[in-house]
Amino acid sequence: MKEEYEIVAEIINSCAGSSRPQRFFEEAELEDTDIYVKAKHGRDWDQVIKTVLPSGEIEYKLDKGSIQYRYVFTKF
């Protein structure tokens, strides 16, 4: 069953010297949040860390050294 989520995606590029992450916001109906992240980082899926936060939000982190990715899924 699909559920509606707000997705906050953050990209931190240390090489570019940026101290602020780039943030993107999206709304999507998903059956599984894993599928969304796998579609973006399929080759690196084994390095992705998934955490369910006490608030119920689902967080994914991927650290590629100079670039870090973070996705937070919040149910509507």
What's the pLDDT score for residue 16? 61
Q: Which residue has the tokens 């050294």?
A: 65
What's the pLDDT score for residue 21? 84
Region 21-35 average pLDDT = 96
Structure tokens at 29: 């109906």
- If DSSP codes are grouped into helix, strand and coil, which group holds residue 1? coil
Region 51-70 average pLDDT = 96
Show me where the domains of the chain are located. Answer: 3-75
- Check residues 34 and 21 and name the one with the higher pLDDT: 34
